[in-house]
Amino acid sequence: MTIYRATVSRVRPLTDTMVRITLTGGDLPGFVSTGVGDEYVRLFFPHGPDRRELSLPVATDTGWETPEGRPTAPMRTYTIRAARPESAEIDIDFVLHDHGVAGGWAAAARPGDPLGLNDPTGLYARPEGVTRQILVSDLTGLPALARILENTPDSLTTRAIVEVPDERSVQPLPAHPRTRVTWAHGGNGRTPSRLADLVTAALPPGTDLTDTYVWVAGETTALRSVRKHLRRTLELPTDRFKVVGYWAPGGDSWSERYEALPEGVKAELAALWENPEGDLEDVTITYEERLSGLGL
Ligand SMILES: Cc1cc2nc3c(=O)[nH]c(=O)nc-3n(C[C@H](O)[C@H](O)[C@H](O)COP(=O)(O)OP(=O)(O)OC[C@H]3O[C@@H](n4cnc5c(N)ncnc54)[C@H](O)[C@@H]3O)c2cc1C
């Protein structure tokens, strides 16, 4: 694990709700992209009002830790929208929303601001032989969706569904033959996300998903029923879909509410992972059903 220090070199508004921030300099010449379309990193932000004061953690064998006596840098997860090793630059597209460390930082970002990040991890994993992909996201997943499209061979058919707050958040996507894109309006913290309904409407029970890979990213609680639909109703094999929760309404208080659960309930939840019944997706569905039942 490496922790990199980088500096903002460019800030470019993409739409009313998204800004592209280019990072360069510092340790970025050593950054190695996986090339996977949805690769993400942990970003480390300034801990206080001074945007230039960044207290980076140090890498350890298992992750990272803040040196004793130093302030802890708030950490958030973001997609590498583009990596240009020849100029040691990366682009990150930030959703501008009204609250949060990262959203607020991005809205005020300017050249010279420092930021930390770690090594990237990609999740999108389309198996060999797949001829069609279905990509679904809200605004937070749009950078990954766009990069996945960029990486897609011309032979593949793509159906993309993107939930954006309104038409002013629509962005041109990389031109690609055999691609059909639907823009739905809503969600994204303004109204409840319709991603689950959009997926069910596009892929009703009985849909033939032979040779199809499905990738879905967006509001976490809305995606619980998407995972269930893909795995239990459509019986997709676990290697032919990826559902990743990117953010949650009230996400800043989620950990506190989880920690406030009775110890017995937390132990029961932890035990689901320790003694899994079924594959990882089945355990995740059971876990998420339990969380929903607990109002989490
Ligand atoms: C693998 C992965 C990749 C991601 N890639 C990107 C990316 O490329 N671009 C991107 O913008 N986001 C991305 N996200 C989502 C991002 O990590 C979250 O939106 C994060 O919560 C933003 O942090 P914050 O400090 O702004 O808000 P937080 O402090 O985490 O949350 C504060 C409040 O803001 C709300 N909130 C958080 N995000 C949003 C939002 N998008 N819209 C409306 N309300 C929100 C929360 O519900 C909470 O109530 C990704 C997440 C994951 C897991």
Is 295 found in the same domain as 278?
Answer: yes
Is 239 found in the same domain as 140?
Answer: yes
pLDDT in tens, 147-195: 999 999 999 999 999 999 999 999 999 999 899 999 999 999 999 999 9
Q: What is the mean pLDDT of residues 35-46?
A: 98
Q: What is the DSSP string of 194-262?
A: -HHHHHHHHS-TT---TTEEEEEEEEHHHHHHHHHIIIIIS---GGGEEEEEEE-TTHHHHHHHHHTS-
Final residue of a domain: which of 88, 118, 148? 118
Ligand 1 pocket check: which of 40, 138, 140 to mutate, most ligand atoms within 8 Å of Cβ? 140
Confidence check: pLDDT of 277 > 90: no
Comparing 99 with 142, the larger pLDDT belongs to: 142
Q: Does 107 sit in the ligand 1 pocket, CB within 6 Å?
A: no
Task: Name the β-bridge partners of 43.
Answer: 76, 117
Is 103 found in the same domain as 33?
Answer: yes
Confidence check: pLDDT of 36 > 80: yes
d(Cα 229, Cα 281) in Å, to the nearest integer?
A: 12
Final residue of a domain: which of 68, 91, 118? 118
Q: How many domains does the chain have?
A: 3
Q: Can you give the length of the chain in residues?
A: 296
Is the residue at 84 inside a domain? yes
Report residue 98's pLDDT band, with 50, 70 and 90 as the boundaries: confident
- The torsion region of residue 134 among left (phi > 0), alpha (psi -120 to 50) and beta comes to beta
Positive or negative torsion for Cα 148, 154, 156, 157: positive
Q: Does 15 sit in the ligand 1 pocket, CB within 6 Å?
A: no
Is 236 found in the same domain as 153?
Answer: yes
Q: Does 21 sit in the ligand 1 pocket, CB within 6 Å?
A: no
Report residue 276's pLDDT band, with 50, 70 and 90 as the boundaries: confident
Average per-residue pLDDT in the chain? 95
Separation of 42 CA from ligand 1 center, angstroms? 12
Q: Point out the ligand 1 atom lying closest to the alpha carbon of residue 81.
A: 8
Is 98 found in the same domain as 22?
Answer: yes
Task: Name the β-bridge partners of 134.
Answer: 159, 214
Is 53 found in the same domain as 145?
Answer: no
Is the residue at 274 inside a domain? yes
Separation of 103 CA from ligand 1 center, angstroms? 7
Report residue 278's pLDDT band, with 50, 70 and 90 as the boundaries: confident
Q: What is the pLDDT of residue 113?
A: 98
Final residue of a domain: which of 118, 147, 170? 118
Is the residue at 155 inside a domain? yes
Is 255 found in the same domain as 244?
Answer: no
Report residue 275's pLDDT band, with 50, 70 and 90 as the boundaries: confident
Separation of 21 CA from ligand 1 center, angstroms? 15
Q: Point out the ligand 1 atom lying closest to the alpha carbon of residue 76.
A: 17
Percent of the chain with pLDDT over 70: 100
Is the residue at 215 inside a domain? yes
Is 141 found in the same domain as 76?
Answer: no
Task: Name the β-bridge partners of 243.
Answer: 216
What's 167's domain CATH number? Answer: 3.40.50.80
Is the residue at 192 inside a domain? yes
- Nearest Cα to Cα of residue 231 among 194, 272, 273, 281: 281
Q: Does 95 sit in the ligand 1 pocket, CB within 6 Å?
A: yes
Is 256 found in the same domain as 214?
Answer: no
Q: What is the mean pLDDT of residues 242-268?
A: 92
Confidence check: pLDDT of 94 > 80: yes
Separation of 246 CA from ligand 1 center, angstroms? 7
Cβ neighbours around 4 below 10 Å, total: 21
- Classify 46 as helix, strand or coil: coil
Is 198 found in the same domain as 262?
Answer: no
Separation of 248 CA from ligand 1 center, angstroms? 8
What's 111's domain CATH number? Answer: 2.40.30.10
Q: What is the pLDDT of residue 254?
A: 87
Q: What is the mean pLDDT of residues 129-153?
A: 97
Q: Does 93 sit in the ligand 1 pocket, CB within 6 Å?
A: yes
- Nearest Cα to Cα of residue 290 among 256, 265, 253: 265
Is the residue at 56 inside a domain? yes
Q: What is the pLDDT of residue 171?
A: 96
Is 232 found in the same domain as 272?
Answer: no
Residue 52 to residues 56, 98, 109, 205, 258: CA-CA distances in angstroms? 12, 22, 11, 53, 33
Is the residue at 22 inside a domain? yes
**Which residue's CA is the nearest one to ligand 1's atom 19?**
247
Q: What is the pLDDT of residue 251?
A: 77
Task: Name the β-bridge partners of 265.
Answer: none
Q: What is the DSSP string of 147-191?
A: HHHHHS-TTSEEEEEEEESSGGG--PPPP-TTEEEEEEE--BTTB
- Classify 8 as helix, strand or coil: strand
- Nearest Cα to Cα of residue 238 among 77, 142, 127, 160: 127
Is the residue at 82 inside a domain? yes
Q: What is the pLDDT of residue 88?
A: 96
Q: What is the pLDDT of residue 210?
A: 92
Report residue 125's pLDDT band, with 50, 70 and 90 as the boundaries: very high
Is 266 found in the same domain as 224?
Answer: no
Whole domain around residue 178: which residue ranges? 132-249
